[in-house]
């Protein structure tokens, strides 16, 4: 008998939901209460949507919708309803507590901290162990291997007559180190300060006649980064960045000595200052989508580049347990335009374990990403990048991450034939990288 009554009540509720002209605040409250007691999340979600379309809105509708969304792990939707419930009843400790946890699940630590300051002393003591840590220090290091020196046989570079001279500049291994500090400047604004050191080993090889020469040298790059994130009203977010890159190296170059009928080699110091400026806007839409648009200006390798990037992040389960990102970027300089397609997918494997996989396709030469934090300004062309990152939330203060990258590059060598004919030959090689990082929150 009880089952028939529940079915009848559900049918009645469904009928009343479709009869919009019959909806009143009193009837909406009655139906909302019945659906909440049943735990019927789907029907209550429909009721809430139709009630709001008719401008029917009150505390109990919002708190019930928020709690049902929270129970269904749809934290983006729960956040909206719980915030509105607190607007109607700011002293409601239940709405405060559930909203606090919702902010934490969404990674909105600044909002959680702001809410925490409004709690009663008793509530603060209860939730002290979960209080968000918004400041963090980062240490990251990695090592990149290269197969450039082995992918092309020596005799192929040397060539056959009428080749009189050939030269190759191989990229070898790369050492990477990064220090960073993230801090809250205000309740709505966070700043990230970063310093990066890159040490790229290279080898210059040259062949003429029966002789050959090889010279190892290093490319040192020092990077200074300042990034800003500002949360605005109506779920808009503004971000901006300044990235300064200073590199120097001692390079061997050749010169044809026509009098001696041979090639001579010299070393020269090369220094260059590069800069990237970026600004972007993003907006969260109904808790499932987050489109973003970025515009950047770069001066890299004596080339001025304008880059326009668009991406959309989507949360497939209404929370951050499973998400994806699809993006597209166009770069413009004096040599023309190029494009990059970006795809990511990630999610939670276990309560404290997260996995993200990603791929970049296109020409990444002088491309920048992640609010200009990543800049691809190394001379050899990058034609694609794949990778995966595994993150462990070890403790309340400590996060540990490991990342693997597979980067496809294009190198080249030159052959000179009589009379002064120069031929450039391209070849493909790859970098493989393992990068580890530690984040300490305080």
What is the average pLDDT across 140-168? 91
Instruction: Give the other-Cβ count within 10 Å of 78's Cβ.
Output: 27
Residue 111 burial (C-beta neighbours within 10 Å; 0-12, 13-18, 19+)? buried
Structural domains of the chain, ranges and CATH numbers in brackets: 2-130 (1.25.40.10), 136-441 (2.40.160.60)
Length of the chain: 442
Q: What is the pLDDT of residue 205?
A: 87
pLDDT digits (tens, 9 = 90+) for 304-347: 999 999 999 999 998 999 999 999 999 999 989 999 999 999 99
- With a pLDDT cut of 70, the percent of the chain lying above it is 94
Contact 325, 313 (CB under 8 A): yes
The residue among 382 and 160 whose pLDDT is bigger is 382
Contact 436, 401 (CB under 8 A): yes
Q: What is the pLDDT of residue 285?
A: 92
**Mean predicted lDDT score pLDDT of the chain:** 92
pTM score, two decimals?
A: 0.87
Contact 376, 368 (CB under 8 A): yes
Q: In the predicted model, is pLDDT for residue 294 greater than 50? A: yes
Q: In the predicted model, is pLDDT for residue 175 greater than 50? A: yes
Q: In the predicted model, is pLDDT for residue 18 greater than 80? A: no
| pLDDT bucket at 20, cuts 50 / 70 / 90 | very low
Which candidate, 147, 198, 148, places its Cα nearest to that of 175? 198
pLDDT digits (tens, 9 = 90+) for 193-202: 999 999 999 9
- Worst-scoring range by mean pLDDT, 48-52, 92-96, 148-152? 148-152
- Worst-scoring range by mean pLDDT, 21-25, 224-228, 241-245, 335-339? 21-25
């Amino acid at each position: 008998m009880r089952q028939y009554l529940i079915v009848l009540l559900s049918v009645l509720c469904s009928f009343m939901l479709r009869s919009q002209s019959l909806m009143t605040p009193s009837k909406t409250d009655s139906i909302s209460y019945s659906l909440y007691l049943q735990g019927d999340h789907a029907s209550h979600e429909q009721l809430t949507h139709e009630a709001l379309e008719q401008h029917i809105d009150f505390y109990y509708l919002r708190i019930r919708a928020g709690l049902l969304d929270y129970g269904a792990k749809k934290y983006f939707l729960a956040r909206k309803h719980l915030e509105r419930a607190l607007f109607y009843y700011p002293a409601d400790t239940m709405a405060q507590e559930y909203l606090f946890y919702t902010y934490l699940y969404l990674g909105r630590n600044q909002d959680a901290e702001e809410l925490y300051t409004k709690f009663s002393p008793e509530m603060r003591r209860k939730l002290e162990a979960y209080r968000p840590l918004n400041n963090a220090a980062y240490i990251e290091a990695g090592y990149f291997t290269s197969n450039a020196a082995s992918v092309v046989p020596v005799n192929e570079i040397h060539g056959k007559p009428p080749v009189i001279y050939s030269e190759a500049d191989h990229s070898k291994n790369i050492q990477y180190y990064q220090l960073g500090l993230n801090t809250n400047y205000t309740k709505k604004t966070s700043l990230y300060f970063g310093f990066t050191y890159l040490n790229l080993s290279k080898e210059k090889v040259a062949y003429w006649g029966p002789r050959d020469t090889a010279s190892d040298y290093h490319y040192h790059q020092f990077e200074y980064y300042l990034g800003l994130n500002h949360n605005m009203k109506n779920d808009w977010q503004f971000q901006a960045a300044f990235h300064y890159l200073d590199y120097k190296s001692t390079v061997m170059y050749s010169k044809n000595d026509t009098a001696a009928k041979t090639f001579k080699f010299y070393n020269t110091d090369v220094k260059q200052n590069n800069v990237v400026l970026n600004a972007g806007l993003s907006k969260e839409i109904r808790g499932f989508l987050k489109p973003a648009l970025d515009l950047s200006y770069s001066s890299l390798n004596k080339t001025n580049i304008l880059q326009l990037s668009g991406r959309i992040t989507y949360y497939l389960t209404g929370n951050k347990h499973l998400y994806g990102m699809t993006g597209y970027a166009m770069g413009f300089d004096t040599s023309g335009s190029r494009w990059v397609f970006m795809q990511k997918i990630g999610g939670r494997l276990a309560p404290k374990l997260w996995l993200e996989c990603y791929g970049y396709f296109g020409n990444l030469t002088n491309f920048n990403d992640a609010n200009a934090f990543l800049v691809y300004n190394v001379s050899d062309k990058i034609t694609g990048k794949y990778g995966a990152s595994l993150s462990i939330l070890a403790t309340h203060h400590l996060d540990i991450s490991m990342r693997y990258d597979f980067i496809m590059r294009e190198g080249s060598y030159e052959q000179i034939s009589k009379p002064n004919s120069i031929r450039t030959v391209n070849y493909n090689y790859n970098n493989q990288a393992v990068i580890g990082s530690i984040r300490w929150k305080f």
